[in-house]
A = this chain, B = another copy of it.
């Protein structure tokens, strides 16, 4: 059994707990939290919950620590810190800061002899992997990434900070016309506005100025100003009924050409459609936790990403079983 610890228990942490239950070679040993452990309710109440400070007392009990904090301030500190003691996996997703994060985790791992697997999830993660492989296969071509339809937590938060807004959810929606053009091999050059629209569902406070809220959303720089945005005011009841979930998804497409005069078009598309973004991300992370464990057992050390992991390491099956059943 691979013994797992979860460090941070929000939506992602809960998703990891659930994913571990679907993998019979794994066992959740403990959850670590910054909150009062008494107040953290797990799916399985028999699993121990400790304060984060107690994590390093359990170096002999945990094979892989899965970090479920945020990329802004948690992971840049937590992943290098915990990599001094454990094999770690995180879902660090601030693309621009990946090189710096990699260097910090790599240093810690090389001192501890552990594996640190960073930026695991779907973007970065499975989408990155598909971008890489499609680029290596279709050398001459263009990349396209569409997100959604799905909930953007950051954009939903931005709306909630507007005066008069009680609750809000924002969906990022790919523009079907743009998708169709890419799938058709037309290699369009697409502006931000042409790729995605933004749909907002807002519960306003009583007596709030709806026109003012709508205008504030639509003109918000960085978040909405560059998009075609629709704002729907709905009741709290409808919000809870139809917008409680955290669906997401997206599509990575490589459109390329081969042939003596590049006359043959090829499209590689990877598409995911998810009822629960955190549960899917957690499922990816848990598969890679197996890889981290197995690689470290074989003697591998240092920071790695999905690019560095041979796919067979994700599976419980032996090489012979995989070749027989899945190749």
- Chain A contributes a number of interface residues (CB within 8 A of B) equal to 67
Q: Which residues of B have CB within 8 Å of A267? A: 271-274
Across the two chains, which residue of chain B brings its CB closest to A312?
A: B307
B258 engages A19 (CB within 8 Å): yes
- Min CB distance A180 to B, Å, is 13
Q: Point out which of A128, A140, A273, A284 has the most chain B C-beta atoms below 10 A from its C-beta.
A: A273
B128 engages A326 (CB within 8 Å): yes
Q: Which residues of B have CB within 8 Å of A273? A: 183, 266-267, 269
Interface presence of A275 (CB below 8 A) = yes
Q: How far is the CA of A153 from the CA of B320 in the complex (A)?
A: 29
B311 engages A306 (CB within 8 Å): yes
**What sequence of 0s and 1s flags, for each residue 6-20 of chain A, a beta carbon within 8 Å of any chain B beta carbon?**
000000000100110
B133 engages A323 (CB within 8 Å): no
Interface presence of A60 (CB below 8 A) = no
- Min CB distance A306 to B, Å, is 7
Interface presence of A244 (CB below 8 A) = no
Q: Kindly identify which residue among B258, B323, B326 contacts A279, using a CB–CB cutoff of 8 Å.
A: B258
Q: Which residues of B have CB within 8 Å of A99? A: 320, 323-324
Interface presence of A235 (CB below 8 A) = no
Q: Kindly identify which residue among B19, B139, B283, B323 contacts A102, using a CB–CB cutoff of 8 Å.
A: B323
Q: Which residues of B have CB within 8 Å of A263? A: 275
Q: How far is the CA of A306 from the CA of B267 in the complex (A)?
A: 20
Q: Kindly identify which residue among B102, B136, B138, B309 contacts A315, using a CB–CB cutoff of 8 Å.
A: B136
Q: Which residues of B have CB within 8 Å of A307? A: 310-312, 319, 322-323, 326-327
B102 engages A326 (CB within 8 Å): no
Q: How far is the CA of A312 from the CA of B311 in the complex (A)?
A: 12
Q: Which residues of B have CB within 8 Å of A326? A: 128, 131-132, 135, 307
Q: Point out which of A135, A263, A315 has the most chain B C-beta atoms below 10 A from its C-beta.
A: A135
